[in-house]
Structure 1
Amino acid sequence: MPLKGAAGWALSAPATLAVIGFLLVPIGIVIAGTFMDPRGIFAPYISYFNSGFRTTVLFRTLQIAALTTIISLVFGFMTAYVVSRAPARLRSLLIIAAVFPLLTGVVVRAFAWLIILGRNGILNNTLIALGLTNEPLEMLYTQGAVIVGMVYLFVPLMVLSLVGVLENIPRDVLQASSSLGASPVATFWQVLLPLAVPGLIVGAVLVFTGSFTAYATPQLLGGERQTVLATLLHQRAMVSFDWVGASTIAAIMTVITISVVLVMTNLARRINPMAT
């Protein structure tokens, strides 16, 4: 046993050291730098939250991430359920179709939505041709455009997180629930949903953290009108060269991300003690 334990530590040591050296130490240095301001230890954070523009950016980012997560959960769950209940051969094709967007880059997918949602884009031309509007609608550089791009970006991750979990739920369990008199709605809320909690939590964490920290899609589809924390961080660091301000934003994003992960994990334990 001691030899096996030592071998395990030896095998995991390189990865552990890499995580510490290239992730934890840089994050620690960035966060520590925010507490060395000559004006006071919490001065950068006080300055941030005293700014109406910056707090608006924070709440906008949280709203976009939350809505993206909720919408992705709904569409991802429905898609994953259909895929998990399909025959084996068809299931493989459906999974390939569901995750096909992952084969293209984030910027390429965002540019595709620029073509669809632009003033002279596919959607506006279709609406005008059908007589539903007389002039192009302003769909780009809105919060809705950012959310649409985010959902398209992250639904495949939600599907991948849920398919395996839903496949492992025996059909006999659902049939037993129905045979005992439970309605389809009751079966969903009391049987299917609790058993799917592990996949839901993993998918929700992936989608929320990804959309909360995303840069390319909000920048291309939201522009300056829909500034989020990631684009504000880039502006402070690369345009204003305000490294303390950029580090403050990074620290806030890190704290919120970790808090959301902890809250979702606790929620998973409450819904299904076997989920974590």
Structure 2
Amino acid sequence: MKKSSAFIMVVPGLVILAVCLFLPLLRVLIPSFHTGDYPFSAYVEFFQDEYYLKIFMRTVKVAFITTAVCMAAGVPTAYFISRCQKKWRGILLSVSIFPLMTNSVIRSFAWINILGSNGIINRFLMAAGLVEKPAKLLYTDFAIIIGSVYLFLPLMIVTVAGVMENIEDDMMEAALSLGADRFKAFMKVIFPISLPGIIVGGILVFTGTLTAYTTPQLLGGNKHMVLATFIYQRAMSVGDWNGAAVISLIMIATTLAVIKGLNALSARLDRRGGNHA
């Protein structure tokens, strides 16, 4: 009886999800398999086209670099926050998620003012005599990565901090008492325990970066397109909806493949940890 009641409560949500998400998605994606001379020809042509492949590789590269930077910066920050007193922990977490509280367009325009030819960085470099003319920072892969890190770093910090809060201080103190320095104790004790949370944070950052539109469009421009901006161009500017559907499915498949890989890595590391225990 309880199982049937629980199922009945879930049904409305499943119906809404199917009508609002899966049916429109299938309506767009099914024709993409019949575009071209033979089934899947559009997908084969995508990876044979040098321009399309360049956009795909740029998107994956930006997503991986953004994820790596967020991990490198977010994990130590999360550890510091998790070891603070409860009052300060709440304040620091609130400050860390501030970028998520502002509109994506406003965030991007702020970075345009920082990275532009007349932006803060170039004015400083020229005033210091480090460069003779403004450096090309805006409308580059670098600009997309900087904007993406600023946007998604809070997700990494909050996710990892939530895991590290549950790690007892005694574990670090035990490692220190056995002769390990703080860095070694962190890498050998805290990091392995926190790895599931780090991987979850990595998934959130990677998928968010891979599918982002506003930040890459405003900071990368038309010369440094990623898959999301390319999809918009094919659909809205060219009117090639089938081509946009092909690119969309490739982006979805790439995202799912990376999520599957990271989940498999997490499961493997958990098994190794259990065997060592």
Q: Deviations over 1:8-57 (max 9, x none)?
A: 11222222222222222322333222112251101111221121000000
1:28-47 equivalent positions in 2, closer than 5 A: 28-37=26-35, 39-47=37-45
Match of 1:261 in 2: 259
Match of 1:17 in 2: 15
Contact 2:36 2:42 in 1 (8 A): no
Distance (Å, rounded) in 2 between the aligned partners of 1:31 and 1:263? 24
SS at match of 2:139: coil
1:99-118 equivalent positions in 2, closer than 5 A: 99-118=97-116
Contact 1:158 1:204 in 2 (8 A): yes
Deviates further, 59-68 or 180-189: 180-189
Whether 1:150 and 2:148 are equivalent positions in the alignment is yes
How far residue 258 of structure 1 moved from its aligned partner, in angstroms, is 0.7
Distance (Å, rounded) in 2 between the aligned partners of 1:229 and 1:54? 9
Match of 2:92 in 1: 94
Contact 1:30 1:251 in 2 (8 A): no
* 2:137 aligned partner, one-letter code: M
**Which of 68, 73, 76 pairs up with 1:75?**
73
Contact 2:139 2:224 in 1 (8 A): yes
| Matched residue count | 273
Distance (Å, rounded) in 2 between the aligned partners of 1:42 and 1:181? 60
**What's the % identity of the aligned pairs?**
40
1:190-209 equivalent positions in 2, closer than 5 A: 190-209=188-207
1:161-172 equivalent positions in 2, closer than 5 A: 161-172=159-170
Match of 2:235 in 1: 237
Contact 1:195 1:272 in 2 (8 A): no
Point out where structure 1 has 5 or more consecutive residues left out of the alignment.
Answer: none
Distance (Å, rounded) in 2 between the aligned partners of 1:209 and 1:264? 12
* 1:203 aligned partner, one-letter code: G
Distance (Å, rounded) in 2 between the aligned partners of 1:27 and 1:193? 39
Contact 2:83 2:165 in 1 (8 A): yes
Structure 1 outlier segments of 4+, above 4 Å: none
How far residue 134 of structure 1 moved from its aligned partner, in angstroms, is 2.2
* 1:21 aligned partner, one-letter code: V
Match of 2:214 in 1: 216
How far residue 132 of structure 1 moved from its aligned partner, in angstroms, is 2.0
Point out where structure 2 has 5 or more consecutive residues left out of the alignment.
Answer: none
- TM-score, normalisation: structure 1: 0.94
SS at match of 1:35: helix
Contact 1:143 1:226 in 2 (8 A): yes
How far residue 5 of structure 1 moved from its aligned partner, in angstroms, is 1.1
Deviates further, 45-54 or 126-135: 126-135
Distance (Å, rounded) in 2 between the aligned partners of 1:159 and 1:86? 14
Contact 1:213 1:229 in 2 (8 A): yes
Q: Deviations over 1:232-272 (max 9, x none)?
A: 11111001111111010001011111111110000001112
Question: For residues 203 and 274 of structure 1, do their structure 2 counterparts lie closer, same or farther at Cα, with a shift above 3 Å needed?
Answer: farther
Distance (Å, rounded) in 1 between the aligned partners of 2:47 and 2:272? 39
How far residue 183 of structure 1 moved from its aligned partner, in angstroms, is 3.8
Distance (Å, rounded) in 2 between the aligned partners of 1:273 and 1:25? 38
